[in-house]
Structure 1
Amino acid sequence: MSNRINQCIRIANVLLLAAIMLLSFAAIALPAARASDLTAAEQCDREAGSEFDLERNRSFPAVSTEDIRIGIALSACREAYNQNGDARTQFQLARVLDKAGQKVQSRRILEEAARGGHALAMVNYGALLAEAGEAETAFDLYQRAAAAGNILAAYNLGVAYRDGVGTDADGALAIRWFERASIAGDDVAAFNLAVMLDEGKAVPEDNLEAAKFYGLAAERGNVDAMINLGLMFESGEGVRRNPVAAQELFRQAANRGDPLGQQKLDPIATGSVLRTAMLAKMDQSK
């Protein structure tokens, strides 16, 4: 009787082990099956969607340039492109080709995507045109992309109006576009806006507003903004003097490797640097 019971237990254990193995195989096979169910366009979206692209397929996480898997992405995006892919597919293929070092093909397909109305493609293609001296055409592309809500386009318009590239210089419009980009999350736009207000070039000087936008950029990790706002708190320019806040900003900048931030935190080291420079001058005068 006990032998029969033991035999039944052994059979049950074998069946249980077999069931576990089948479930394990199914779990392994499931992602592959799901991947195979994707269309070429969806695979391209998964492998090459940019975080700066408001039009990307949000069913998949954005892929940074350094994380693009060239072989997989190129195969998927080429196939999607050959299947009459839309402007987003064209942009993503151009992005992968650029990462692969195929610059001529990338530029040609990027132009297709820009002509197809893809906002980020218009920004990137506009930047290429600006480098080639076609600033006015680039400016037109930035305007169209900014109208579609692209943050990088808004920033580029701010630069264009500030420097008079592709259009007449206009400080007020530069401020407007930098502000739009900074509110949308661009730390560099916030920093540039603060610099314009801080220096009073092309717009009236407004140190209080400058401090506000330096603070916004610093909160987003912009080291230059940390230093400039720290200097304002140190001197009391445009804000109430606050040495403690200044030191905290210098510390944050120093932690990110900024040499001025490190010097501001280490007056002994700063003095050492000055003494070394003085000794060098004395040696030269001998």
Structure 2
Amino acid sequence: MGDRGRVFTWIASLALIAAVVALTSCAAEAQPEISLGETSAGVGSGASSKPADLPVVHDGDEVVATGFVLAEPGKPSRFCAPAPMSGVDTDRCRFNVPITGVDGKDLPDPVTLRGTWRAGTFEVIRQEPAPPASTPPDPAVPCPAPGGGWLTNNDADTKDLHRYVVDEHPEDFRQPWIAWPNGFPSGNVPTEDVARQARVMVVEVVHGELADVRKALESRYTGNLCVVAAGAGLSIADQAHVRDATEKAIEPFLNDPAFGIYATSAADKLTVDLVVLTPELVSGFSSLPMALVEFDPWVRPA
């Protein structure tokens, strides 16, 4: 199934892993001492060599973020990131930045603040209501319905399909997912009604002829099936390579609170959730395979 494309992908992956291993070996040697309060003065070619589209905050930039404010007697007010908490960590303001321009009272509910980033402090200019929480729409089924419509019998066994796609041919597929033609059942829907809702197993093909793949999958799965080309997405195997390489490379930074990382997730890239991305931190992250990392800072340029 697509041997030429598969060989090319594996050659590229092996080259990538070799490069990342070399980078990772030096990542733990000596990390620069960086605090979130440092300014951008003195940053040179290290930061400018990075991709220009990084959401970097420079000293004096206008910034925006949504979180809550914690004011404690005798201490500067802190603006707290909506970072997830572990079961043993009860400090909901562990990830924060100092702020000025607020009245010194707690704002326990989410609020959006706009202001200026100045020497590591968020100087508040304006306070706004937090945007309402939103749920992204369910992805549409990327295949047309068959002539008789989608089946409502959802009892088809997925084990053989999963084994074929994920275990036996991970280099040829992305992770299968379920689409709901009529929308995901929400609210207090009885279990038996959910069972009657049509759902479709979507299989994205990285390498292989779609007709051949569909024939192979239909012999292993009798439910609603949508087989489509994956486009630019990485295969399950290549995602595993990216995950292994980047997760090893990011470990030294997770253990250093100066970098302000509070969550990571990996798929086609490693997404790094952190407090703020300053030029100093970009320079500190230079040992990472930057082409495979996506930064999602909480405090962002306005």
TM-score under structure 2 length normalisation: 0.19
Query: Higher Cα Rg: structure 1 or 2?
Result: 1
> Where is the helix percentage greater, Structure 1 or Structure 2?
1
TM-score under structure 1 length normalisation: 0.20
**Which structure exhibits the higher relative contact order, with contacts defined as CA atoms closer than 8 Å and separated by 6 or more residues?**
2
